[in-house]
Structure 1
Amino acid sequence: MTPVRPGPDGIIPVSGLTDLVRGYNPNSDSALIAAAYDYGHKMHDGQLRTSGEPYFSHPVTVAMLLAEQRLDDATIITALLHDTIEDTKSTYREIAIRFGDEIAQLVDGVTKLTNLELSSVENAQAENFRKLLMAMSKDLRVLLVKLADRLHNMRTIKHLAPEKQARKARETMDIFAPLAGRMGMQWMRDELEDISFRVLNPEARKSIIRRFVSLRNESGDVIPKITDDIRQVLTQAGVEAVVFGREKKPYSIWRKMEEKKEAFSRLSDIYGFRIITHSVADCYTALGAVHQRWTAVPGRFKDYISQPKSNGYRSIHTSMSGRDGKRVEVQIRTSEMHAVAETGVAAHWSYKDGERFENPFAVDPFQWLRSITERVEWQEDEDFLEHVKLEMFTDQVFCFTPKGEVVKLPRGATPIDFAYAIHTRIGDSCVGAKVDGQRVPLWTKLRNGQSVTIIRAEGQRPQPSWEDMVVTGRAKAAIRRSLRGEQRATQVRLGREIARVSLERVGKKASDKAMETAARRLGLEEGEDVLARLGAAEMTGRDLIATLYPELLREAGLPKARNEAAPVVIGLGLGQEARPAPCCNPIPGERIVGIAERGKGVMIHAIDCATLGAFEDTPDRWIDLRWADGHSNATHETRVEIALANDSGTLGRICTLLGEHRANITNIVFTDRKPDFYRIVIDAEVRDMEHLTHILTAIDADSDVAQVRRYRAAAAAGNAPAGR
């Protein structure tokens, strides 16, 4: 095809566009295309691109890109007008009157996509991406125009400021390139990724190109030689086919090197060759011929003819050691399969010999979009975005249920992904799996063709570790929902115990009515929300009493606020201020020392704090301190680490013990969960060392407590005594 050159004004003439469209669609309405061209030209008159070119050169180039994909008139006209509503005085109504409702709706759809800032913060990005997919689901031609628009903008990205180039390149790499690939337009994905790669990591791209040049200098251009070798083998096998080869794009090579952690010379798909045959039978004959002639690389065979990708892609992929031991990738498919592979969903609007062509290998272009948009209603933003990105980026494996049904999963999926792909209930109750009849760990990565049996148990619940084992958005979302529900239930149980102990101290009961009253005063929906906040340490028992019975606080001897009376420390200089060091949280009753810190006053450390070792070379900063004698109502925060049995009511008893000893719980963190035991760190306010010792002794006496100790940051790393 002879390239159409721009006119003197830098814009491709309308005849170049209409001639191109009539070349594949003789019934095209050239007059309507010309009218849209003239209208767009008039609307954008006087506007310039960042490069200094007339702005209308951009919509025309986008229309030419879509015409090269042999698309229908409505899509071509939409491309010509796609920026008019956003950037000119044109309106939806005017476009509808001039060009019809269909085109007006398409232009409006592209405008809405353009207005989405996809590179914003994560949650906003997810919401905008959700809107993008919903807009695409109404008419996928909106996406085709948007992708062509992005491709031309990326081809001219050098005219933007560096920071804007980086933002657009990242947005393209994260969103538009995967969308193009998932919709089957692999050529467009390759180009979008390579341009983005050039912007985001120019040195890495240059290094790949230098290696290609070095390889050519060493062995010459091997592509024509290998192409001739393949043609000869096919001729001998009686297969008529078109054979051509190419070097892979730099980003494709870089991604393979990063994924496989292999050197450039070890990659099997630096060179790619395609064999285009007349029939499916010829595809398999060609496969047998090249495998007889050259050694196949183990583990590099994929049959997407018998198991097509969800976007309709069909092809046989194999890698071989070819001429001079060069490892090459070969793709084998029919001409109709090749049309789908090249144009993807665009094949549904394409023409052949002047007629709309129904390719037998093309699939419903809305199938994948429906599978995503069905989840829009229930997935949270981050889950939704993660799921969509996984759906777009990953290749697929095909596994079988015991009944022989096929389950499609992303590469790297595990039996847990498989279970959730069948049904959420099956995933939630999964306790094990058999692959091809053999019991395997749940983190096993599944491979093509394997038969998977899920072992279930009633009462089983998803484990926190599962989230790191799965790769599908569906599984991650289900696990997170279940864990959040379980966590809330635990917080409510713990909160109920904290509420009971706290209110009993002032002679009141933690009734449902009391919790509902507290919820109303705190602006919460229900009493259970109050309990959940207590259990999550988002509020304390004192806060609950202050909400319901503020007049009883002082009668019960409770402090008005944390550390109501400041700790009295002897040994400070005039005007010096001291604060407890967070590494050891010293409390009255233990020996202390001060470390003078510039701009921070004096930090009080326990004498056995492991952090003090860092100050041995600066003795001038040490200050001899001691707690003042006598009783104080001040409370001091300390941390207690407890390992206890994972049984119902155990944690509640511990909280009750703390409440009985008048120690206010301010936070609880689960540091390690196991099926039989779990480890927690409790932040509590105590009066002094004697008070803490009584609490540790009472907790240690509980039969379900395996270990209790005072927790310090250094102690957790093994640098300080283990505690009590």
Structure 2
Amino acid sequence: YIQSLIHLAQQALLAAGLPGQIDGRPKHLFSIYQKMARRSVSFDEIFDLTAVRIVTDTKMNCYAILGLLHSIWPPVPGRFKDYIATPRSNLYQSLHTTVVGPQGEYVEFQIRTADMHRINEYGVAAHWLYKEPGKIGGRDEQVFSWLRQFVEWHKDLADNRQFMDSVKLDLFHDVVFVFTPTGEVREIPVGATPLDFAYAIHTEIGDQCVGAKINGKLVPLRYQLSSGDMVEILTSPSQVPHRGWLKFVRTSRAKTKIKHWIKVEEQKRALELGRRLLEQEFRRHNLPVAQSLKSDRLSSMAKAKGSETVEELIRQVGFGRLSPDQIVSHFYEGPEQGPSPSTKGVSHSPQQKFPGLLREGSVKFGGTKDVLMQLSKCCKPVPGEPIRGYITRGRGLTIHAIDCPNFQSLEWDHNRLVEVEWDSELDGTHSVEVSVLTLDRTGVLAKVSAGISHCQANITRAEISTREDRKAVLDFVIEVKNTAHLELILQEIQRVDGILSAKRVRGW
């Protein structure tokens, strides 16, 4: 049986072009008995009844032969030991793996180089004597230097745990060797994760990675790979990279690919949102949307703002770096032209240019409207909600909502608090901040923007961010008439499929 097994292994090595000298032996009955007694296990739990040794030329070929054997015969989970990456204290080095052989029996393979075999069989001194007298190579010099340091540690460190920690630290390697399901060897940095491995194989596999199996068992994506691991990547066409992946990937390739995807996706979303915001602003000023987006005025403004293309200018609007009003104002403000006929009758109030500044007569104090007032930036109240005034030094009266987060601190000076009320004849808009939590789906942003527009409300600013749990947060600044108008907008947003919550916030 052993000879037939050796023959099969030899044929596999020849077919793969891997050099190797193979021999084998059955375990002696007395050795089996000793192992059963020493480990208190049954006969069925002895996995090395049959052992085959393969001696090859290089360390890389050791791992290549290991991958080849695992592709021919299934490995037994938990029965792999890498003594090459982490040698024993006596400098023993070898790869040990147990597979299910051709007749369903457990077979242990030991794979090593000729140098490792000489040290394992005859000891370090014999390996030294094997060299020509007086000609000790650099590797042998390092071995004996390590042995001298090993003896010093043993003398200096009385605590066995500290001694072992020192030994492990000295044996730490910069790379580990892992295998693909087909047995191909891959070299990756220590601390790398299945996600790093996926991006090392192909960018698309990394982008669509949803999980991984290590040696047949499911593991999280942040799992750190070890030498000898068999890595199988699980993918899904609907999966996309997440910003949270950057927190645990190790390789520069994986980080670069993830950042590139996020940048491209953010630009797409910014372009979509910027275009919708501009279209809404064009319609609000009675300007033809299609002609305005293709006009020379927009191209000239793009160059004036430092954008190479109109699309880049629109992205700036989507990112919130430019307001739609700034773009539209370029269409009816010019050194040689007056207002466009299409913009006649459109009024631009101080509040539209300076959010937070109250219209004249918006709030009444003691029955009068002729007091210098301004809305508080911390809570940004809107008509319809309870408010109170706070007298400030040099800035007149600041209007706060009753539930303002800073209101408790203001109550320490009761003399400055005054009763105020909204003017019942108020006609205008106020900016509020709305945060929407949604599933990260295609088209949700467009539907939310359309819902806000359907309620006759204008978006002046928007920010979009995605989370690792495949959810997205849409933050808007919206112009509303009053609390009833705001409530109508929130209800319209919540009707969109995929929306988890929509609420007003007091500052992002």
Q: Does 1:547 align with 2:330?
A: yes
Report what 1:354 is aligned to.
none
- 3-state SS of 1:474 partner: helix
Q: Which amino acid aligns with 2:414?
A: P
Return 5+ residue gaps in structure 1 as ranges.
Answer: 1-232, 238-278, 290-304, 306-313, 334-340, 342-392, 717-724
Find the partner of 1:593 among 377, 384, 388: 388
Give the whole-Å Cα distance in 1 for the aligned partners of 2:210 and 2:494: 34
Bigger Rg, which one: 2
Find the partner of 1:566 among 358, 381, 401: 358
The question of whether the paired residues in 2 share the 8 Å contact of 1:645 and 1:704 is answered with yes
- 3-state SS of 2:270 partner: helix
- 3-state SS of 2:298 partner: helix
- 3-state SS of 1:639 partner: strand
Report what 2:260 is aligned to.
481
Tell me: CA distance 1:331–1:480, structure 2 relative to 1, closer, same or farther (3 Å).
Answer: closer
Tell me: CA distance 1:317–1:507, structure 2 relative to 1, closer, same or farther (3 Å).
Answer: farther
Q: Does 1:642 align with 2:470?
A: no
Give the whole-Å Cα distance in 2 for the aligned partners of 1:588 and 1:625: 12
1:343-375: per-residue Cα shift (whole Å, max 9, x none)?
Answer: xxxxxxxxxxxxxxxxxxxxxxxxxxxxxxxxx
Q: After superposition, where does 1:27-38 map in structure 2 within 5 Å?
A: none
Tell me: CA distance 1:287–1:604, structure 2 relative to 1, closer, same or farther (3 Å).
Answer: farther
Tell me: CA distance 1:317–1:653, structure 2 relative to 1, closer, same or farther (3 Å).
Answer: farther
Tell me: CA distance 1:317–1:703, structure 2 relative to 1, closer, same or farther (3 Å).
Answer: farther
Give the whole-Å Cα distance in 1 for the aligned partners of 2:392 and 2:148: 66
Q: CA deviation at 1:646?
A: 3.6
Q: Which amino acid aligns with 2:434?
A: V
Report what 2:154 is aligned to.
322
Q: CA deviation at 1:607?
A: 0.9
- 3-state SS of 1:458 partner: coil
Report what 2:227 is aligned to.
448
> Which structure's relative contact order is higher, taking Cα pairs within 8 Å and 6+ residues apart?
2
Q: After superposition, where does 1:7-156 map in structure 2 within 5 Å?
A: none
Return 5+ residue gaps in structure 2 as ranges.
Answer: 1-88, 92-114, 126-138, 140-144, 334-338
Report what 2:425 is aligned to.
630
Q: CA deviation at 1:516?
A: 6.8
Give the whole-Å Cα distance in 1 for the aligned partners of 2:390 and 2:234: 59
Q: CA deviation at 1:465?
A: 1.9
Q: After superposition, where does 1:92-241 map in structure 2 within 5 Å?
A: none
1:269-323: per-residue Cα shift (whole Å, max 9, x none)?
Answer: xxxxxxxxxx76676579899xxxxxxxxxxxxxxx9xxxxxxxx9899989935
Report what 2:241 is aligned to.
462
Give the whole-Å Cα distance in 2 for the aligned partners of 1:510 and 1:612: 47
Give the whole-Å Cα distance in 2 for the aligned partners of 1:709 and 1:396: 49
Q: After superposition, where does 1:228-267 map in structure 2 within 5 Å?
A: none
Q: CA deviation at 1:418?
A: 1.3
- 3-state SS of 1:465 partner: helix
| Aligned-pair identity (%) | 28
Q: Which amino acid aligns with 1:480?
A: K
Find the partner of 1:584 among 379, 384, 395: 379
Q: Which amino acid aligns with 1:413?
A: A
Give the whole-Å Cα distance in 2 for the aligned partners of 1:632 and 1:520: 36
Report what 1:9 is aligned to.
none
- 3-state SS of 1:404 partner: coil
Q: CA deviation at 1:595?
A: 3.4
Give the whole-Å Cα distance in 2 for the aligned partners of 1:504 and 1:464: 36
The question of whether the paired residues in 2 share the 8 Å contact of 1:700 and 1:708 is answered with yes
Report what 1:538 is aligned to.
321
Find the partner of 2:270 among 491, 495, 506: 491
The question of whether the paired residues in 2 share the 8 Å contact of 1:577 and 1:602 is answered with yes
1:524-571: per-residue Cα shift (whole Å, max 9, x none)?
Answer: 222321332232222233233223355344534454742487334333
Find the partner of 1:619 among 405, 414, 428: 414
Q: Does 1:403 align with 2:182?
A: yes
Give the whole-Å Cα distance in 1 for the aligned partners of 2:436 and 2:206: 32
1:390-430: per-residue Cα shift (whole Å, max 9, x none)?
Answer: xxx99433322223333333332211111122332322222
Report what 1:520 is aligned to.
300
- 3-state SS of 2:406 partner: helix
Tell me: CA distance 1:325–1:647, structure 2 relative to 1, closer, same or farther (3 Å).
Answer: closer
1:569-623: per-residue Cα shift (whole Å, max 9, x none)?
Answer: 3339999854433332112232211334567765421012233223344323423
Report what 2:457 is aligned to.
663
Find the partner of 1:438 among 217, 221, 225: 217
The question of whether the paired residues in 2 share the 8 Å contact of 1:494 and 1:652 is answered with yes
Tell me: CA distance 1:286–1:557, structure 2 relative to 1, closer, same or farther (3 Å).
Answer: farther
Report what 1:508 is aligned to.
288
Report what 1:529 is aligned to.
312
Report what 1:379 is aligned to.
none
1:243-293: per-residue Cα shift (whole Å, max 9, x none)?
Answer: xxxxxxxxxxxxxxxxxxxxxxxxxxxxxxxxxxxx76676579899xxxx
Normalising by the residue count of structure 1, what TM-score does the alignment of the two structures yield?
0.43
Q: CA deviation at 1:512?
A: 8.6
Tell me: CA distance 1:626–1:450, structure 2 relative to 1, closer, same or farther (3 Å).
Answer: same
Normalising by the residue count of structure 2, what TM-score does the alignment of the two structures yield?
0.59
Q: After superposition, where does 1:324-403 map in structure 2 within 5 Å?
A: 324-326=158-160, 327-328=162-163, 329-330=166-167, 395-403=174-182
The question of whether the paired residues in 1 share the 8 Å contact of 2:320 and 2:463 is answered with no
1:222-262: per-residue Cα shift (whole Å, max 9, x none)?
Answer: xxxxxxxxxxx99xx9xxxxxxxxxxxxxxxxxxxxxxxxx
Give the whole-Å Cα distance in 2 for the aligned partners of 1:280 and 1:598: 84
Give the whole-Å Cα distance in 2 for the aligned partners of 1:575 and 1:486: 50
Tell me: CA distance 1:318–1:281, structure 2 relative to 1, closer, same or farther (3 Å).
Answer: farther
Report what 2:103 is aligned to.
none
Tell me: CA distance 1:315–1:425, structure 2 relative to 1, closer, same or farther (3 Å).
Answer: farther
Give the whole-Å Cα distance in 1 for the aligned partners of 2:469 and 2:296: 34
Q: Which amino acid aligns with 2:365?
A: G
- 3-state SS of 1:510 partner: helix
Tell me: CA distance 1:451–1:546, structure 2 relative to 1, closer, same or farther (3 Å).
Answer: same
Q: Does 1:422 align with 2:217?
A: no
Tell me: CA distance 1:657–1:601, structure 2 relative to 1, closer, same or farther (3 Å).
Answer: same
Q: CA deviation at 1:514?
A: 1.8
Cα RMSD over matched residues? Answer: 4.2
Give the whole-Å Cα distance in 2 for the aligned partners of 1:671 and 1:461: 14
1:422-473: per-residue Cα shift (whole Å, max 9, x none)?
Answer: 3323222222211112121112122232121222333532122211221222
Report what 2:77 is aligned to.
none
**Structure having the larger proportion of residues in helix:** 1
Q: Which amino acid aligns with 2:302?
A: L
The question of whether the paired residues in 1 share the 8 Å contact of 2:280 and 2:458 is answered with no
Tell me: CA distance 1:396–1:667, structure 2 relative to 1, closer, same or farther (3 Å).
Answer: farther
Tell me: CA distance 1:508–1:409, structure 2 relative to 1, closer, same or farther (3 Å).
Answer: same
- 3-state SS of 2:426 partner: coil
Tell me: CA distance 1:412–1:581, structure 2 relative to 1, closer, same or farther (3 Å).
Answer: farther
Give the whole-Å Cα distance in 1 for the aligned partners of 2:282 and 2:169: 75
Report what 2:47 is aligned to.
none
Q: Which amino acid aligns with 2:345?
A: E
How many pairs are equivalent? 357
The question of whether the paired residues in 1 share the 8 Å contact of 2:244 and 2:467 is answered with no
Give the whole-Å Cα distance in 2 for the aligned partners of 1:414 and 1:511: 51
Report what 1:137 is aligned to.
none
- 3-state SS of 1:426 partner: helix
